[in-house]
Amino acid sequence: MLINFCQTFFEITQDKFLQMSSASKALTLLTHFSTARPEIGLSQLCRIAGRDKATTYRHLQALESVGFIEQNPATKHYRLGPALMHFAQIREATVPRKEAAKSALSALADVTGETAHATVLSGTTLYGLCACESPHHGTRAVIDINIFPLHATASGHCALAFGPADLFDAAVSSLTGFTSATPTKPDELTALIETTRETGFARADQSYEAEIQGFAAPIFDHTGLLAGAVAVASVASRFTLSLEHTIKSELIIAAREISRNWGGAIPAGIEAAWAKSVKIPNELESTS
Amino acid sequence: MLINFCQTFFEITQDKFLQMSSASKALTLLTHFSTARPEIGLSQLCRIAGRDKATTYRHLQALESVGFIEQNPATKHYRLGPALMHFAQIREATVPRKEAAKSALSALADVTGETAHATVLSGTTLYGLCACESPHHGTRAVIDINIFPLHATASGHCALAFGPADLFDAAVSSLTGFTSATPTKPDELTALIETTRETGFARADQSYEAEIQGFAAPIFDHTGLLAGAVAVASVASRFTLSLEHTIKSELIIAAREISRNWGGAIPAGIEAAWAKSVKIPNELESTS
DNA sequence: TGATAATGGTTCATATTTTGAACCGTCATT
DNA sequence: AATGACGGTTCAAAATATGAACCATTATCA
């Protein structure tokens, strides 16, 4: 998100820097490194970051002094440093993934008044990670399944839409019919996946359990690949357009937060799809 | 009294920070987090870092704004942030040191039956990179990935013996005594370093933890300079001359392999020292 | 319970640090 | 030999960092 922000709103960043601390300015340099562009020279980085050479140089020196950046002695280009490995290990020990998802799910369940849950993709299997029920209503969805069928659940459609391509073969190989609405033909499934890709959300309209409306959004981890999905299961009888809007808005927030906590970020394409399918802006928590 | 102490302590630390950039000062706050102390409150951190509360607070804000720190909403304490996972991923993709070291460490742990680990030197700090325990014995050393004291660990002695000269000053400035065998006088440390240079190995005889014998060999990267160390921590009670011989032989192999994977090579002088202190030839895989 | 001390967070005048245009030396290209 | 791109450096001007004192809450405890 930070990367997108910096690259997209490039002209604004100069103004932005006026109220940034020096440390933030230096650290922002790190966001320009990626697996696609792992090493950057001084002049090149100045151009990318849109900042003065002397300043950029001093920032790099500061970052190098604490091991966040190191210089390739052969090319004089800079790259991310070894200290990052060290701190990442402590971070992972401090905030394990499940723990990190819990707070987001709790908020999601609380605001929507419905049951929220998160799933994790491992190979071609989608496992339930944890669920959070809202005490708001007497009737509510109870998530007690461990393995989520790819073809019949909203989380599964997210995985199929944004995960590795080989998932589709795995899905069509067992198109079990759970309800009358379960997609049991490959074409039906393809259409649902296509809709999911267009909107950034998956919707399962009583396709796994009758009376349950499922909505899901994808989550990504540090590999940059789909790591799982976050979903809300609501009772169909009290479903409204207003609730749908709330669920979608909150799913975006939750998907962003969980991805962030897992060291990943929502790809720009999905953010764009969300922006189109949900009208309200969602930059609430940035640069607070 | 307490005030006096605080002020003198403060002036000392202040000297250390005089020539540091603001960004470095903010980033050094991160070094106070560890698996043993994963969350730190504001006041507590001020005491640990010996800095002003307002300054520390602003530094934390800066770090939080870029995701290097986050606040536990429940306790208001600070902990390492999610951005570290992101950058560590890119770093590892750029320079896959950890991956490169793993296989060698695994073999080292397997053959010696003891715990093997690798450390990385960044500035004047020696970080733990990864550890590999052998399932061979019930009791074994457990390496809590952390910062390795230069004066008290075998890896540290390797760094002092074969790394940059300014490490020695950094080491003598904090000669903390961990056990009765910890070298706490510069002269003692100098002697140990000298032995390390002569043999090409460092040996830490219960100088960091009681009952732990540490052996280490230096590893070098593409810069031609010392990059870190590879070490074996064995339980003192089952230590024998035969095991020492095995450890040294295997350390040579591991140090060569890791250095090679990191784009470096063992300097001829150290190879010569090894040849003298371990009788069997170890030129098995060279110039293949 | 009420007094006390510790906590996280904020303010503002002071002065230190950061900043960037211009500069230097080197290297590869023309 | 001229050119331009590169990494790196300098110094006056200006934005930024600093810390003592302050506020509001929250333990702590007599």
Question: What is the pLDDT confidence band of residue A19, given thresholds at 50, 70 and 90?
Answer: low
pLDDT tens digits along B128-148: 998 988 777 667 777 766 789
Give the CA B23 to C1' C14 distance in Å: 21
Which pair of structure tokens corresponds to residue B194? 């000298």
Q: Determine which of A4-18, A130-144, A261-275, B125-139 has the lowest per-residue pLDDT on average.
A: A4-18
Place of tokens 């003192």: B236
Q: Determine which of A13-17, A242-246, B284-288 has the lowest per-residue pLDDT on average.
A: B284-288
Under DSSP, is residue A257 helix (H, G, I), strand (E, B) or coil? helix
Chain A residue whose CA is closest to B89? A222
Strand D close to A76 by CB, under 7 A: yes
Rounded average pLDDT over B100-106: 90
- Helix axis angle for B97-112 and B241-261, nearest 10°, is 160
What DSSP character marks residue A138? S
How long, in residues, is chain B? 288
Whether residue B176 is predicted with pLDDT greater than 50 in this model: the reply is yes
Exposed/middle/buried for A4, CB within 10 Å: 0-12, 13-18, 19+?
middle
Tell me which of B282 and A180 has the higher pLDDT: A180
Residues 41-60 of B with CB under 7 A from strand D: 51-55, 58-59
Give the pLDDT score at A18. Answer: 53
Q: Determine which of A122-126, B53-57, B115-119 has the lowest per-residue pLDDT on average.
A: A122-126
Rounded average pLDDT over B262-274: 89
**B116 and B109 in contact (C-beta within 8 Å)?**
yes
Nucleotide nearest to A26 (CA to C1'): C18
Nucleotide nearest to B7 (CA to C1'): D19
Which pair of structure tokens corresponds to residue A141? 């969805």
Q: How far is A9 from chain B (nearest CA, A)?
A: 16
CA dihedral sign, ordered B266, B268, B270, B274: positive
Cα–Cα distance, A141 to A139 (Å, whole number)? 7
pLDDT tens digits along B2-20: 223 333 333 333 344 556 7
Whether residue A15 is predicted with pLDDT greater than 50 in this model: the reply is no
HSE (side-chain half, CA atoms, 13 Å) at A148 = 33
Which of B63, B80, B88 lies closest to A23 in CB terms?
Answer: B63
Under DSSP, is residue A174 helix (H, G, I), strand (E, B) or coil? coil
Cα–Cα distance, B30 to B63 (Å, whole number)? 9
User: Given an 8 Å threshold on Cβ–Cβ distance, is B88 in contact with A83?
Assistant: no
Tell me which chain B residues have a C-beta less than 8 angstroms from the C-beta of A28.
66
Rounded average pLDDT over A218-234: 88
Give the pLDDT score at A17. Answer: 56
User: Given an 8 Å threshold on Cβ–Cβ distance, is B122 in contact with A27?
Assistant: no
* Backbone Cα Rg of chain A: 21
Whether residue A247 is predicted with pLDDT greater than 70 in this model: the reply is yes
What string of H, E and C letters represents the secondary structure of B253-278? HHHHHHHHHCCCCCCHHHHHHHHHHC
Tell me which of A91 and A198 has the higher pLDDT: A198
Q: What is chain B's mean pLDDT, rounded?
A: 84
Tell me which chain B residues have a C-beta less than 8 angstroms from the C-beta of A74.
222
Question: What is the pLDDT confidence band of residue A245, given thresholds at 50, 70 and 90?
Answer: very high
Give the CA B131 to C1' C25 distance in Å: 46
Give the pLDDT score at A92. Answer: 82
Cα–Cα distance, A197 to A277 (Å, whole number)? 11
Give the pLDDT score at B14. Answer: 38
Question: What is the pLDDT confidence band of residue B222, given thresholds at 50, 70 and 90?
Answer: low
pLDDT tens digits along A148-198: 899 999 999 999 999 988 889 889 888 888 999 999 999 999 999 999 999
Rounded average pLDDT over B237-252: 93
User: Which one, of B111, B148, B139, lies nearest residue B236 by Cα?
Assistant: B139
Q: Bridge partners of A230?
A: A118, A217
Phi, psi of B31 (to 5 degrees): -65, -15
pLDDT tens digits along B26-73: 999 999 998 889 999 999 999 988 888 899 999 999 998 888 998 887
Q: Which of A1, A69, A91, A99 to mutate against chain B (most B CBs within 10 Å)?
A: A91
Q: How far is A238 from chain B (nearest CA, A)?
A: 33
Question: How many Cβ atoms from other residues are within 10 Å of residue B110's Cβ?
Answer: 15
Give the pLDDT score at B284. Answer: 40
Give the pLDDT score at A79. Answer: 92
Helices (H), chain B: 2-17, 22-28, 42-49, 53-65, 83-94, 97-112, 154-162, 167-172, 186-199, 241-261, 268-277
Could you tell me what percent of chain B has a pLDDT over 70?
Answer: 87
Phi, psi of A276 (to 5 degrees): -75, -40
Rounded average pLDDT over B220-249: 90
Tell me which chain B residues have a C-beta less than 8 angstroms from the C-beta of A32.
none
Q: Determine which of A1-10, A60-69, A251-260, A263-272 has the lowest per-residue pLDDT on average.
A: A1-10
Q: Which of A17, A27, A39 to mutate against chain B (most B CBs within 10 Å)?
A: A27
Q: What is chain A's mean pLDDT, rounded?
A: 83
Dump strand ranges (E) for chain A: 69-71, 78-80, 115-122, 125-132, 202-205, 212-220, 226-235
Which pair of structure tokens corresponds to residue B196? 């390390």
**B157 and B193 in contact (C-beta within 8 Å)?**
yes
Helices (H), A69-123: 83-94, 97-112
Cα–Cα distance, B31 to A74 (Å, whole number)? 29
Give the pLDDT score at A23. Answer: 87
Q: Which of B16, B33, B70, B84 to mutate against chain A (most A CBs within 10 Å)?
A: B84
